[in-house]
Amino acid sequence: MHLTAEEEAILNGEEGETKQQLMEILVGVGKVFGADEMVPVRSAQVSGASYKTIGEWGLKWLTSLDAHAAVPAVLNPVGMDRIRWEEMGIDPGFAKKQLEVISAYERLGIRLECTCTPYYLNITEYGDHLAWSESSAVSYANSVIGARTNREGGPSALAAAIIGKTPKYGLHLVENRKPGIHIQVDGEPKGADASWYGALGYLAGKISGNRIPLFSGIRPGRDQLKNLGAAMAATGAVALYHVQGITPEARVFSFSSEGLENIVIEADEVASLFTGEQVDAVAIGCPHCSPDELITLATLLDGCTVTKPVYIFAARDVIERENEHIRKIERSGARVYADTCMVVSPALERYDRIMVNSGKALSYVPTMCGAGAVIGSTKDCIRAACTPDV
């Protein structure tokens, strides 16, 4: 792997122990994956931020580091809302540790935006090289924005944030971004909401595995694409997909389905995932809600009172921009939390069955929260929790 003189100097410890250690991580990853060189990144998104997942060892490692981020960098969701954690019913002992993890990242120059939707913070554009780590964010950046990132682990994303570079391999190279399977969707319902695409992604991820799918027969908007990609990254290992005529690289490169394995998914198969079972809580915002999704929720909840807990998750920056809609949502009794989500927070572990509008949450809630999960449209979710019915 070719290193510049500046990169060699960092590797030799000329810029301190922390940078040396982090450069060793990047060079190690680059060698394993056959990278020829490093590439500068425009931004980083660092996972391993929830105390629930990194524990005491991770906290100790973070506090031992001494450096500052070289590029804009944000965190993945953590185990609680940094401000409203008590209201979420978070144990004070857990909260103390979580706040220590957050402070450790802050000291390293990582912005205290804890979100899986960093693309709403305007830190990336088409063609940018990135070092992002949360699987749905990676999928969105690659597929919907046309930026280039591998799915980084927590340490390698942090290393890229501090060094400002990442090894150039995998999805950083155009030749690795071509589709490997064609998924033809029959019967896309008119006006289907994002949950339908989440359910489609839930099925498509299992079929695709680690191949890059090329979809035809669907016309999703941005929120639908977000849900589709998130679910495929959860049930498969899909970090990039294309939709004919919709996603940027499918327009630029005119990928053909010729020669690819062709799989058909019928709308009935997608519909069969919507079982309408009773639930004892509702969780929305996986991935974190967009401004448009918050506006839809404010409209649906207008004039309603929730009779079951309704948790809604979004990035703090988005919540602050949509203040008026948040007030309307919370007047119903639903709660909008920042910095965390239904999967990484222990707050939802107390429920038996949760309704979600996301294919990714449908896949993760049972394993990460120990609760049953049922998928419904956003309207179904609100209907399941409210009086009067909407």
Point out which residues bind ligand F3S (CB under 6 A).
77, 116, 134, 136, 230, 286-288, 313, 341, 343-344, 360-361, 364
Task: Give min distance, CB of 105 to ligand F3S, in A.
Answer: 16
Give the single-character DSSP code of 129: B
The C-alpha atoms of residue 50 and residue 122 are separated, in whole angstroms, by 24
Task: Give min distance, CB of 345 to ligand F3S, in A.
Answer: 9
Task: Give min distance, CB of 137 to ligand F3S, in A.
Answer: 8
Task: Give min distance, CB of 326 to ligand F3S, in A.
Answer: 17
Task: Give min distance, CB of 279 to ligand F3S, in A.
Answer: 18
Task: Give min distance, CB of 10 to ligand F3S, in A.
Answer: 31
Residue ranges of E strands in the chain:
38-40, 43-46, 73-75, 111-114, 130-132, 165-167, 181-186, 213-216, 242-243, 261-266, 281-284, 305-306, 310-313, 335-337, 353-356, 372-375, 386-387
Task: Give min distance, CB of 55 to ligand F3S, in A.
Answer: 18
Q: Is the CB of residue 245 less than 8 Å from the CB of residue 225?
A: no
By beta-carbon proximity to ligand F3S, the closer residue of 183 and 284 is 284
By beta-carbon proximity to ligand F3S, the closer residue of 119 and 169 is 119
| φ and ψ of 358, to 5 deg | -135, 135
By beta-carbon proximity to ligand F3S, the closer residue of 154 and 287 is 287
Task: Give min distance, CB of 186 to ligand F3S, in A.
Answer: 27
By beta-carbon proximity to ligand F3S, the closer residue of 226 and 325 is 226
Give the closest residue to 236 by CA, choosing from 138, 168, 130, 346: 138
* Angle at the Cα of 107 from the Cα atoms of 317 and 45, rounded to 5 degrees: 50
By beta-carbon proximity to ligand F3S, the closer residue of 77 and 155 is 77
By beta-carbon proximity to ligand F3S, the closer residue of 179 and 359 is 359
Q: Is the CB of residue 235 less than 8 Å from the CB of residue 206?
A: yes
Give the closest residue to 246 by CA, choosing from 272, 271, 261, 228: 228
Residue 45: Cβ within 10 Å count: 33
Q: Is the CB of residue 56 less than 8 Å from the CB of residue 100?
A: no
Q: Is the CB of residue 39 less than 8 Å from the CB of residue 149?
A: no
Q: Is the CB of residue 164 less than 8 Å from the CB of residue 192?
A: no
Give the SS3 label for residue 85: coil
Residue 190: Cβ within 10 Å count: 5
Which class for 191: exposed (0-12), middle (13-18), buried (19 or more C-beta within 10 A)?
exposed
Task: Give min distance, CB of 19 to ligand F3S, in A.
Answer: 28
By beta-carbon proximity to ligand F3S, the closer residue of 360 and 383 is 360
By beta-carbon proximity to ligand F3S, the closer residue of 72 and 285 is 285
Task: Give min distance, CB of 166 to ligand F3S, in A.
Answer: 21
By beta-carbon proximity to ligand F3S, the closer residue of 196 and 313 is 313
| Non-local CB neighbours of 272 within 8 Å, separated by 6+ positions | none
Give the closest residue to 182 by CA, choosing from 243, 246, 138: 243
By beta-carbon proximity to ligand F3S, the closer residue of 202 and 364 is 364
